[in-house]
Amino acid sequence: MTHKSILIIHTGGTIGMVQSEAGYVPKIGVMEEEIEKQIAARPEEISYEIVRLDPLIDSANATPRDWNRISGQIMAFYSEYDGFIVTHGTDTMAFCAAALCMSLEGLDKPIVLTGAMLPLSEPGSDGSPNLADTIESVLTAEPGVWIQFSGRLLHGARTRKIHSRDNDAFSAQPSQVPPRRISGTVLRHVFGQKEVAVVTVVPGGSMEVIEFAMSKCDGVVLRCYGSGTVPNHPTLERALAAAKRRNIPVVVVSECLGGGTSLGSYEAGAVLVRYGVIDGRDMTMEAAYAKLALALNTRMSRATQRDFILAPICGEFSTYLAA
């Protein structure tokens, strides 16, 4: 039987929390004890090591800097392990998975993220089965970045959190492309400190907020109606003009869970085409945010940033929209 080695990166999150007077808080040892028990019960020989982010975090506090810390640990030990597990809070797990898909190039090993809706310290926790499934997945999955949750292995660049309480909290759009940037060399690309905003159009909503974002930020993800329509509003047009004048990228994605955008299909979205926004097609908001943030730090010109965002790199677009 083939020996396997796994690196487990524990970032915090609900899975390793305990109850306190202020609510659930991370505690060292909770997740580690469960991992030891799970691997000891398996029939094959598995060696493993656990490294922790210090301090452990609630994923609501996660930032791109933490994505760099995780990818840095993976790269530091990449040659020593056959696979990698990342235990992570569920609130921003989809963001982290998308970020790792895009920032780690040339992966030929699996990276599997998991967590729990209820801490391991609580009766009935989903953390134990999720960890068991994740250990199995990291031993058998194809190379790339995955989320293992509630019995399903999900594409890391196509996943979003869809429920705040159910154990089956994640969903992923289908993709025929694996969740990894294919390359002959394993490379790590890091996120910088650029200011990126995500803003949403709603009926009668404040266009001044959108204008402020496009006047101040380094890049903006704009969530639109349907296949890419927006209100016909002079302040929105002024905001888009400001973004174009400042030469910052604006990526448009749909508020709908499926289907994506197709800019130019409706007159109500013509203003977006006129000001040269980037069609995010059916990327999730999480993937669009991560890709835009990475583009801002790894591509120096607006043209190369645009090309990077439009090019499918890790299955973040549906196949039929990726051309």
Q: What is the pLDDT of residues 218-273, one digit of tens each?
A: 999 999 999 999 999 999 999 999 999 999 999 999 999 999 998 877 787 899 99
Average confidence (pLDDT) over 273-279: 96
Which residues have C-beta within 8 Å of that of residue 281, sequence separation ≥ 6? Answer: 260, 261, 262, 317, 318, 321, 322
Domains of the chain plus CATH, in order, are: 4-188 (3.40.50.1170), 196-321 (3.40.50.40)
In the predicted model, is pLDDT for residue 321 greater than 80? no
14 counts as catalytic: yes
Given CA atoms 313, 314, 317, 321 in this order, what sign does their dihedral have? positive
Provide the pLDDT for residue 55: 87
Catalytic residue (choose from 14, 92, 134, 284): 14
Q: Which residue has the higher pLDDT, 318 or 294?
A: 294
Average confidence (pLDDT) over 179-191: 96
295: pLDDT confidence band, cut at 50, 70 and 90? very high
Q: What is the pLDDT of residues 58-102, one digit of tens each?
A: 899 999 999 999 999 999 999 999 999 999 999 999 999 999 999
- What stretches of the chain adopt beta strand conformation (E)? 4-12, 17-20, 23-26, 46-57, 83-87, 104-105, 110-114, 144-149, 152-155, 159-161, 170-172, 187-188, 196-200, 219-224, 250-254, 278-279
Enumerate helices (H) and strands (E) in the chain, giving the number of each. 9, 16
In whole numbers, what is the pLDDT of the chain averaged over residues? Answer: 95
Provide the pLDDT for residue 264: 78
Provide the pLDDT for residue 1: 53
Share of the chain above pLDDT 70, in %: 98
Burial of 257 (0-12, 13-18, 19+ CB in 10 A): exposed
